[in-house]
Amino acid sequence: MSAAMPRATATAAAPRDPLLKEITGPTPGQMLRRRIFGHQGFLIGTITLLVLLAIALVAPLIAPHDPYAQDLMSRMERPVFMGGDWDHVLGTDHLGRDYLSRLIYGARVSLLIGGVAALISGLIGTAMGVAAGYFGGRVDMVVTFLINVRLAMPVTLVALAVVAVLGGSLEVVIGVLGLLLWDRFAVVMRASTLQVRGREYVAAARAIGCSTPRILLTEILPNILNALIVVVTLEMAHAILLEAALSFLGLGVQPPTPSWGLMVSEGKNMMLFEPWLVLIPGAVLFVLVLAINLMGDGLRDVTAPENRS
């Protein structure tokens, strides 16, 4: 009898483990991993962006040639897939500069401009939008007026005018784009703050005597982070495209600095005869912007409030 009792106890206790597991469910960390690895768009965008970022960081180590070195005897060589040689895998431009090396270094310019411009505009727009949504009243009126003024100014035309006056350079382009792309941050953050400022957890924080900065940093911002992530990715891609457009028009990053928009501009005169001069940098620019948008959409889905429980 004594030998049978432990076996019976174990048999009776066995069904409780699956039931307990079903009641408790997966942990938040497990749910997050499931959402991340189950979202194909997020994985594709993130991996592609990380690869491009790694290429930009180690550009001096992997670039086969000096992107600034000119060799007029080797100008306009075609890529390997069009009959060229392996010394210049993607051919050379009109000055004999290696196209692959300039493409690798151009990733640095695009990612730097997109990231820093999105950071500057994000800080400005988020501060204005959160202040307008939380405080309301005259603060909201002033911020709304500034948003309307900014929306009345075409971004491309204003950027062209400012860069034409100040001169095209990497620093000027970053500053101009950072000071022009904050409006979407302000609009989205204002609307998101209006939605959460009346929630119970904000009222509870006020009731226990939390200061306004603490409420904004610990109660408001974490609950509007999902919308902020989406806007950051959109504006980063927008800044990269605007930089390419300015460089294409000759008012952005100036030669001989490698820039994908500048490479498209330099190859446009030979587009009918050597289309690869335009298609290669255009395709890489498309891949970068697509990767940023896929990652942003994936982050929105992964960090959505309804998926956190």
Q: Residue 240's closest CA among 122, 153, 116, 54?
A: 116
Tell me, what's the pLDDT at 12? Answer: 45
- Give 167-210 pLDDT, tens digit per residue: 778 888 899 999 999 999 999 999 999 989 888 888 898 888 88
- In angstroms, rounded to a whole number, what is the distance separating the alpha carbons of residues 171 and 81? 37
Question: What percent of the chain shows pLDDT beyond 90?
Answer: 34
302, 39 in Cβ contact below 8 A?
A: yes
- Give 1-58 pLDDT, tens digit per residue: 444 444 444 444 444 455 445 556 667 667 767 777 777 888 999 999 999 999 999 9
| Residue of higher predicted confidence among 297 and 105 | 105
Tell me, what's the pLDDT at 298? Answer: 85
Tell me, what's the pLDDT at 272? Answer: 84
Tell me, what's the pLDDT at 14? Answer: 44
Which residue type occupies 140?
D
Tell me, what's the pLDDT at 269? Answer: 83
Neighbouring residues of 84: CB distance < 8 A, sequence distance ≥ 6: 77, 78, 91
- Give 238-286 pLDDT, tens digit per residue: 999 888 888 888 788 888 888 888 888 888 888 888 889 999 999 999 9
- In angstroms, rounded to a whole number, what is the distance separating the alpha carbons of residues 149 and 146? 5
